[in-house]
Structure 1
Amino acid sequence: MTDEPQLSASEAADEPPQPDPLRSVYTNTLGDILKQTGVSLAVSTYQAGKVILVRYDPETQTVNTHFRAFGKPMGIAADATRLAVGGVNTVWYYRNMPAVARKLEPPGKHDAAYLPRRIHVTGDIDIHEMAWDADGELWLVNTRFGCLCTLDADHSFHPRWRPPFLSALAPEDRCHLNGLAMLDGRPQFVTALGETDTPGGWRADKARGGLLMEVPTRRALLRGLSMPHSPRWYQNRLWFLESGEGSLALANPRAGTWQTVAKLPGFTRGLDFLGPLAFIGLSQVRESATFSGIPLVERLTERTCGVWVVDIRDGRVLGFLRFEEGVQEIFAVSVLPGARFPELLEWTDERLKHSYVLPDEALAAVPDALRE
Structure 2
Amino acid sequence: MSTVGRQDTPLDPGATAITVSRGLPNWLNTNRVSLAYTSYQTGQLFLVGVQPDGTVSFNQQNYVRAMGLCHDGNRLFIGSLFQIWRLENMLRPGEKGNGTFDRVFIPREAHTTGDIDIHEMGVDRTGRLIFVNTKYSCLATVDPQHSFRPLWKPDFISKLVGEDRCHLNGLAMSEGVPRYVSAVSQTDMLAGWRERRISGGVVIDVATNKVVTDQLSMPHSPRLSDGQLYVLDSGRGQIVRVDPETGSKEDIAFCPGFLRGMTIHNGYAIVTASKPRDGTFKDLPLQAEIAKRDGEPWCGIFIVNLRHGDIVEWIKLDGAVAELFDVAVVPGASCPMSLGPNTLEVESTISFDSDLPSGLTFDVKKESTSVPQ
* TM-score normalised by L of structure 2: 0.89
Q: Does the alignment pair 1:304 with 2:304? A: no
Whichever residue aligns with residue 247 of structure 1, its letter is Q
Q: Which residue does 1:145 correspond to in 2?
A: 136
The residue that corresponds to 1:325 in the other structure is 319
Which amino acid is the alignment partner of residue 238 of structure 1? L
Matches within 5 A, 1:154-173: 154-173=145-164
Deviation at residue 18 of structure 1 after TM alignment: 4.0
Q: Which residue of 2 aligns with 1:102?
A: 95
Distance 1:223 1:14 in 2: 45
Distance 1:100 1:276 in 2: 28
Please give the per-residue CA displacement for 1:163-209, whole angstroms capped at 9, x wherever unaligned.
11111111001000000001111011000001000101011121002
Does 2:180 match 1:184? no
The answer to whether 1:293 aligns with 2:286 is no
Structure 1: distance between partners of 2:13 and 2:312: 32
In structure 2, how many angstroms separate the alpha carbons of the residues matched to 1:365 and 1:345? 36
The match for 1:118 among 109, 126, 129 is 109
Decide whether aligned partners of structure 1 residues 96 and 364 sit closer, same or farther in structure 2, where only a CA change above 3 A counts.
farther
Matched residues in 2 for 1:57 and 1:152: separation? 39
SS in 2 for 1:124: coil
Distance 1:195-1:14 versus aligned 2 partners, 3 A rule: closer
Is the partner of 2:195 in helix, strand or coil? helix
Deviation at 1:353, TM superposition (A): 5.3
Superimposed CA distance per residue, residues 54-107 of structure 1 (whole angstroms, 9 cap, x where no aligned partner): 111222x222221111100000011341100001111010112223982522x2
Tell whether the 8 Å contact from 2:41 to 2:322 is kept in structure 1 after alignment.
Answer: yes
Q: CA deviation at 1:346?
A: 2.3
1:212 and 1:352 mapped to 2: Cα distance? 46
Taking the aligned partners of 1:267 and 1:218, their CA distance within structure 2 comes to 27
Equivalent residues of 1:202, 1:209 under 8 A apart: no
User: Which range is displaced more, 310-319 or 289-298?
Assistant: 289-298
Counterparts in 2 of 1:196 and 1:23: CA distance versus 1, 3 Å: same
Whether 2:264 is the aligned partner of 1:268: answer no
Per the alignment, do residues 19 and 70 of structure 1 end up closer, same or farther by CA in structure 2, a change over 3 Å counting?
farther
8 Å Cα contact 1:79-1:337 kept in structure 2 = no
- C-alpha contact (below 8 Å) 2:340/2:346 kept by paired residues: no
Question: Matches of 1:275 and 1:346 in 2, distance apart?
Answer: 30
1:354 matched to 2:350: yes
2:29 corresponds to which letter in structure 1?
K
Q: How many residues are aligned here?
A: 349
Partner of 1:335: 329
Aligned counterpart, 1:44: 38
CA distance in 2, matches of 1:83, 1:272: 14
Are 1:75 and 2:68 an aligned pair?
A: yes
Return closer, same or farther for 1:17/1:315 CA change in 2, 3 Å cut-off: closer
Distance, in Å, in 2 between the alignment partners of 1:14 and 1:222 is: 45
Moved more, 120-129 or 62-71: 62-71
What is the distance in 2 between the residues matched to 1:311 and 1:175? 31
Could you say if the C-alpha distance between residues 14 and 263 of structure 1 is closer, same or farther in structure 2, counting changes exceeding 3 Å?
Answer: closer
CA distance in 2, matches of 1:149, 1:14: 34
The answer for the alignment partner of 1:7 in structure 2 is none
Q: Deviations over 1:303-340 (max 9, x none)?
A: 11100111111101111000021211111010000111
Which of 308, 317, 330 is the matching residue for 1:314? 308
**Alignment identity in percent?**
37
| Aligned residue number for residue 246 of structure 1 | 237
2:52 maps to 1:22: no
Unaligned runs of 5+ in 1: 1-11, 367-372
Q: Which amino acid counterpart does residue 26 of structure 1 have in structure 2?
A: V
- Structure 2 vs 1, CA of residues 365 and 28 (structure 1 numbering), >3 Å: closer, same or farther? farther
Residue 370 of structure 1 corresponds to which residue in structure 2? none
Q: Which amino acid aligns with 1:146?
A: S
Pairing partner for 2:202 from 195, 206, 211: 211
Relative to structure 1, the CA distance from residue 38 to residue 363 in structure 2 (aligned partners, 3 Å threshold; closer, same or farther) is farther
Is contact 1:41-1:336 (8 Å) kept? yes
Secondary structure of 1:65's aligned partner: strand
What is the Cα deviation at residue 14 of structure 1? 7.0
The CA distance in 2 between the partners of 1:121 and 1:14, in whole Å, is 25
| Corresponding residue for residue 33 of structure 1 | 27
Displacement after TM superposition at 1:39 (Å):
1.0
* Alignment match, 2:271: 280
TM-score by length of 1: 0.89
The gaps in structure 2 that reach 5 residues or longer are 1-5, 361-373
Computing the radius of gyration over CA atoms, which structure comes out larger, 1 or 2? 2
Offset at residue 224 of structure 1 (A): 1.9
Q: Which of 256-265 and 91-100 deviates more?
A: 91-100
Distance 1:13 1:140 in 2: 30
**For the residues of structure 1 that align with 2:8 and 2:240, how far apart are their CA atoms?**
42
Once residues 183 and 8 of structure 2 are traced to their aligned partners in structure 1, the CA distance between those partners, rounded to angstroms, is 43
1:55 corresponds to which letter in structure 2? G
Counterparts of 1:220 and 1:115, CA distance in 2:
39
Q: Measure, in 2, the Cα distance between the counterparts of 1:211 and 1:350.
A: 42
Contact 1:80/1:338 (8 A) holds in 2: no
How far the C-alpha of 1:16 sits from its partner, in A, is 6.5
Does the alignment pair 1:64 with 2:54? Answer: no
